Amino acid sequence: MAKAMWAGRFSKEESKEVNDFNSSISFDSRMYESDITGSIAHARMLGHQGIISQADSDLIIETLTQILEDINTGKLEFDMEAEDIHMFIEAELTNRIGEVGKRLHTSRSRNDQVALDIRLHLRKTVSSIVEQINSLIDTFVNMAEANKETIMPGYTHLQRAQPITFANHLLAYAFMLKRDKERFMDALKRMNYSPLGSCALAGTTYPIDREMVAKELGFDGIVRNSLDGVSDRDFCVEIASAAALCQMHLSRFSEEIILWCSWEFKFIELDDAYSTGSSIMPQKKNPDICELVRGKTGRVYGDLVTLLTMLKGTPLAYNKDMQEDKEAIFDCLDTLSMCLTIVKPMVETMRVNKTNMRNAAAKGFINATDLADYLVKKGMAFRSAYKISGSIVAFCIENNLVLETVPLEKYQEYSELFTEDVYQYINLEECTFKRTSKGASAVKSVEEQINYLRSNK
């Protein structure tokens, strides 16, 4: 085993078990590009400030660039015996250019280095999650546009409540996703400050220029406190929390798809490519993808709790506990990204059974509120109208009728305000499309939502 870079103080080498336990390269190697980019900016600053010679700075930058290319092309493989990605890259640099390579770590610690790397890395990952969310919003909006006139039952307590359009239902998810996206973007803003130059925790005696590094790396500024710079992982928690919410939304949607695919509902049918069969029951077509999205939600929540718990007892500043941030935040974003990837085409290819949706909406006295509203429009107080409408529903249930088939004379026994136009008023299409208030199911209300979502990306 290669001697650890910090071996100077130690008289014994660490055991294999200790090295394996301590090592993070198996999961932090994915940050190699961020690590190298950060080191290049650091080396440039060291040269610029005269902390190392310009020639050494140039050679370090050139060699790091080469190392990056060699990793990208597969010429250089990670050494799984290395302690972490930072040590691996630095050792490789020193292998290639000897003493000059050893100057890179001047006025830097792995504590501020790792804090920098993870911010750089998450900035990329979160930006791509934001893209994915955007694209899923588009999917929901397009699907809504195609279903502006598709009537379905709206539910509360999973009981048929009032008629809505499928468009309005889908748009609810588009708005949830929009908030998710905004939460991620907000977290990105707060994270975008450079911790480099905090060094181990106390800053440094070298005349470094932290702003120069921050600027080169596209940060909005520097973390203003050196202890905070190395010990802050709030951004991981914020991002994991945004991910947990987003995953929860995907999970609620998945649950609805699972219900809607069942024989009991049959509102939608998933494309064969996005469902699976049973090994024993030939009739089955299972919504496994949705179940997995729902199931993986537990794991994303777990990652959030891991991060919060990891941080709660760590005194300032850096503690090795913090190495545990990576697996949690990576797993959390990997999982969410995978789910976003698969949900989009699943939604795009699912078939909507408009007839079944409409038929379900036509049952269950879904127009009982409208019957009450009818009396209100004719001058009755809502509470009284509500009571009469309820009595008529009870009468229908006893006599196996629906509101549309109650004879006019019967209606008039309940109130003389009822006239022939009641049937028109409680007609399903009427009930759905006359809900023209903002945010409702009428075509115009839905179009307003669609336009809003399209013009506020």
Among 323, 337, 359, 427, binds ligand ARG (CB under 6 A): 323
Say whether residue 19 binds ligand ARG (CB under 6 A): no
Residue 84 binds to ligand ARG (criterion: CB under 6 A): yes
| Known catalytic membership, residue 278 | yes
Residue span binding ligand ARG (CB under 6 A) among the ranges 48-56, 135-143, 177-185, 319-327: 319-327
Torsion of CA 422, 425, 431, 434, to 10 degrees: -160
Beta bridge partners of 154: 162
- For residue 384, count other CB atoms closer than 10 A to its CB: 13
Nearer to ligand ARG, 6 or 382 (CB): 6
Q: Which of 157, 279, 437, 455 is catalytic?
A: 157
Given the complex with ligand ARG, which of 19 and 66 has the nearer CB atom? Answer: 19
Select 111 or 168, whichever has its Cβ closest to ligand ARG: 111
Q: Which is nearer to ligand ARG, 114 or 144 (CB)?
A: 114
CB of 112 to ligand ARG, least distance (A): 9
Residue 39 is a binding residue for ligand ARG (CB under 6 A): no
Dihedrals phi, psi of 163, to nearest 5 degrees? -75, 145
Backbone angles phi, psi at 152, to 5 degrees: -145, 165
Tokens 């006139």, residue located: 149
Helix (H) or strand (E) holding 352: strand 351-352
- Does 29 interact with ligand ARG (rule: CB under 6 A)? no
43 binds ligand ARG (CB under 6 A): no
Catalytic: 157? yes
CA distance 410 to 340: 54
Q: Can you tell me the distance from the alpha carbon of 44 to that of 425, in angstroms, rounded to the nearest whole number?
A: 75
Site for ligand ARG contains 441 (CB under 6 A): no
Burial 211-230 (b: 16+ CB within 10 A, else e): ebbbbbbebeebbeebebbb
CA 200, 32, 297, 251 torsion-angle sign = positive
Q: How far is the CB of 128 from ligand ARG (least distance, A)?
A: 22
For position 31 contacting ligand ARG by CB under 6 A, the verdict is no
* CA–CA distance, 149 with 270 (Å, rounded to integer): 21
Interaction with ligand ARG in 90-149: which residues (CB under 6 A)? 110-111, 114
| Residue 34 in contact with ligand ARG, rule: CB under 6 A | no
56, 214 Cβ separation under 8 angstroms: no
Report in angstroms how near the CB of residue 111 gets to ligand ARG at its nearest. Answer: 5
If the CB atoms of residues 25 and 258 are measured against ligand ARG, the closer one turns out to be 25
Residue 397, Cβ density class (10 Å: 0-12 exposed, 13-18 middle, ≥19 buried): exposed
Of the candidates 15, 53, 128, 278, the residue annotated as catalytic is: 278
Task: Tell me how far apart the alpha carbons of residues 405 and 330 are, in angstroms, rounded to a whole number.
Answer: 59
How would you classify the pairing of strands 159-165 and 268-269? unpaired
> How many angstroms separate the CA atoms of 260 and 267, rounded?
5
Q: Single out the segment in contact with ligand ARG by CB under 6 A; choices: 186-194, 203-211, 259-267, 318-326.
A: 318-326
Binding site for ligand ARG (CB under 6 A): 24, 28, 84, 110-111, 114, 318, 320, 322-323
State the catalytic residues. 157, 278
